[in-house]
Chains A and B, each alone.
Chain A
Amino acid sequence: MASSDSPADDKAGLSRRLHDSQLNSGHIEGQGRKNAMRVLVIEDDKETAQFLQKSLKENGHTADLAGDGEVGLTLATDNAYDVLIVDRMLPHLDGLSVIKSLRAEGNRTPALILSALGEVDDRVKGLRAGGDDYLTKPYAYSELLARVEALGRRTVPEEQQTRYTVGDLVLDRLSHRVTRAGDHILLQPREYRLLEYLMQHAGQVVTRTMLLEHVWDYHFDPQTNVIDVHVSRLRAKIDKNFDKPLLHTVRGAGYTIRDGPA
């Protein structure tokens, strides 16, 4: 399914983000630098691969390129990467086999599968082969970046965290209680899960499609932008009566929750 984001906005949003980051002492980019990732791009199309390498570099990451499955497998085995970006159709050894081989060796590096095959069961096959996320071509770069950064952070065992804190906003995963500056905030179950996912990725950009996939478990195109209304309702509950907003819209890309400048 196509992302519900408009890549038109993505591009604009991206450059604005880069621009903003320079102005605002590089908050987003700083996020990238703090978590600078080493990415392996296994992609046989040179132009795409170079575009990804250049773009990832602009966002503070480093990327190695592999032009086919065998080279990719060797590089992934011999080096420690934070994230693998694997094209599904590759010469010599296809993407799913690369991931399968790595998993068989006990290599658990998070892998994002890129594929022109976007049907429901292709996704299932990709994840079953050991992929951690699946993105259908053509994709918006902002979507790819958000997913790569989310995957890179996965290595930190955040799942076991019982408490998320962003500024004075606290989400207790055991009692399912949300408080801001000590005040209890009453959330609907869906709003709670939305906030939980956003706080789990605090400081990162989370796209609308990522929210749809992880909060709702929907892998289809909702046609219209239904997520925005849900987010703005959540925002009304957590930000409205407070001076400092925490939930920000990253224009063209998605949302981010962070304790920082707007």
Chain B
Amino acid sequence: MTAPLERVAKAASTTAFGLSAAAVAFFLFAAAIVVGFLFWQTNNLLTRQVLGALNAEARILASELKVGGSTKLTETVTALSRPGGTGLYYLADHNGMKIAGNLNRIPPELESDPRGGVFSYQPPKADNGNTRLAVAIPVDLGADVRLIIGRDIEDQRLFADSVRRAFLLGFGVLSLIGLLGGLAVSRLILNRIEAITGTSRSIMEGDLSRRIPESGGGGELDALAGNLNEMLDRIEGLMSGLREVSDNIAHDLKTPLNRLRNAAEAALRDPRGGEAYREGLERTIEKADDLIKTFNALLLIARLEAGPLEDSVETFDLGRFVEDVSELYTPAAEEAGFALSIEAERDVLVRANRQLIGQAVANLIDNAIKYSRGGEPGSAITVRAYRLGDGAAISVSDHGPGISPGDRERALKRFVRLEASRTKPGTGLGLSLVAAVARLHHGEIRLEDNQPGLKVVLLLSGKCLIASAGDAPPSLAAQ
């Protein structure tokens, strides 16, 4: 029983309820003013009509006194006072003795006010003792007689009462409906807000996978929920990226750290002394350097995934640049027994981070040299840069062992090195760095079958492309 009560109390304390209650109160206040004014006006009109009739009658009775004297007046009043008449009369002589009329006495309410007024009286045939309301005025007939005429306005009063009751009832019903409506609206909003609050609480407690339910109505609360959910998706992505990185750091940096430590220990234990120390130190620094490389690559990936770099976007000819970077590798590739060929389309102007694109191309060529066998017939590496759709693409293909379709997704993950022995040098971050560079440029990385071999395609979205050489704003081209 307490739970629903608590819910109502909670709903009643919401902003939504407060707002609807205020609206209802304001509406009732305005209605009360209008209805009260109408009521007062109607009452006034009716009273004026009654007074008008009384005044007319007073003039008639006064002329009758003038024409027929007090006898005639007494007759008329007696006649008018017979049961079934509409008026109330009281006629008295100068001593105050009642002569005629259906009122037993001068109503005390009128004694104080010579202009007449409203009073209650006991009807002569009233069996239940109920008093009725009437209005009366004194008629000025000189000093000899005193006449008061009145009209019963009990019906008017009853009408007014019933009108008042109807309005009060109406107001009551209105307030109740307003109140219930306010409660309902606030319950509705409260339910949605509670869903949001509940979700955010469980997220705060660590369950980042929770999402705020959307009603599907497309209202502003849905828009809010949608926005919050998108924000949560982004946060979850960042968090899982972070977690993945720290997991991988723990997993993959501990091994080389251990090797570094082993190298130092082994040198220290070596009985040869001095020369062994030198070798050990050299090996230690070598291992430390590998660690630094891994760290740098990791930090760079993390930085790239955190969002765009502010200052380092340049406009350059992608084809020319890719050719340039490839040429840096040509002698090294030839030494390793590869024929490195470059097919770069010209005038593909892009606005991108030149150093990062360079790093990506370098990683891809380095991978191709590292993981496919050189010195055999047909061991060629081809680097291409070309327009693709509304964007651009860079591809590096080799004729090495390739990556089987099932492994391709995994190959893009951090620290994944598909050769189980891990004998080849490398951080295992090369491809994921390329993927991060692609994402930074609104693109993606694709691993394809080169039949035989591997073809890695780095796609840059149209956002990075400046349509053609002629379209480049001079200011950009000048940079």
Contacts and interface: CB of A to CB of B under 8 A. Distances in A.
Interface of A: 1-2, 6-12, 118-121, 124-125, 128, 136, 138, 190, 216, 218-226, 229-230, 233
Tell me what chain B mostly uses at the interface: helix, strand, loop, or mixed: helix
Contacts of B362: 220-223
B335 A120 contact: no
Contacts of A11: 281-282, 285
Contacts of B289: 2, 6-8
Given A119-B303, A121-B312, A230 B285 contact: no
B331 A229 contact: yes
B328 A118 contact: no
Nearest to A11: B285
A102 to B, nearest CB: 22
Interface string B276-300: 0010011111101100110011011
B331 A124 contact: no
A118 B285 contact: no
A107 to B, nearest CB: 25
B358 interface: yes
A15 B94 CA distance: 147
B300 A119 contact: yes
Contacts of A224: 332, 366, 369-370
Contacts of A216: 324, 328
A124 B312 contact: yes
Interface string B399-436: 00000000000000000000000000000001000000
B131 interface: no
Nearest to A12: B282
Given A120-B312, A224-B369, A229-B335, A8 B283 contact: yes
B430 to A, nearest CB: 7
A155 B324 CA distance: 31
B247 interface: no
A2 to B, nearest CB: 5
B383 to A, nearest CB: 14
A220 B332 contact: no
Interface of B: 278, 281-286, 288-289, 292-293, 296-297, 299-300, 303, 309-312, 324-325, 327-329, 331-332, 334-335, 353, 355-356, 358-359, 362-363, 366, 369-370, 430
A224 B430 CA distance: 12
A50 B154 CA distance: 112
Nearest to A188: B327
Contacts of B324: 216
Nearest to A124: B311
A12 to B, nearest CB: 6
Nearest to B357: A220
B296 A2 contact: yes
Contacts of B370: 224
A220 B358 contact: yes
Contacts of A9: 282
B328 A222 contact: yes
Contact of A220 (B309, B329, B356): B356
28 contacts: A2-B292, A2-B293, A6-B285, A8-B282, A8-B284, A8-B286, A8-B289, A10-B285, A120-B312, A120-B353, A120-B355, A120-B356, A136-B296, A216-B328, A218-B328, A218-B358, A220-B356, A220-B358, A220-B359, A221-B297, A222-B329, A223-B366, A223-B430, A224-B369, A225-B332, A226-B328, A229-B334, A233-B331
A125 to B, nearest CB: 6
Interface centre among B297, B332, B334 (most CB of A within 10 A): B332
A219 B332 contact: no
Given A216-B328, A229-B335, A222 B355 contact: no
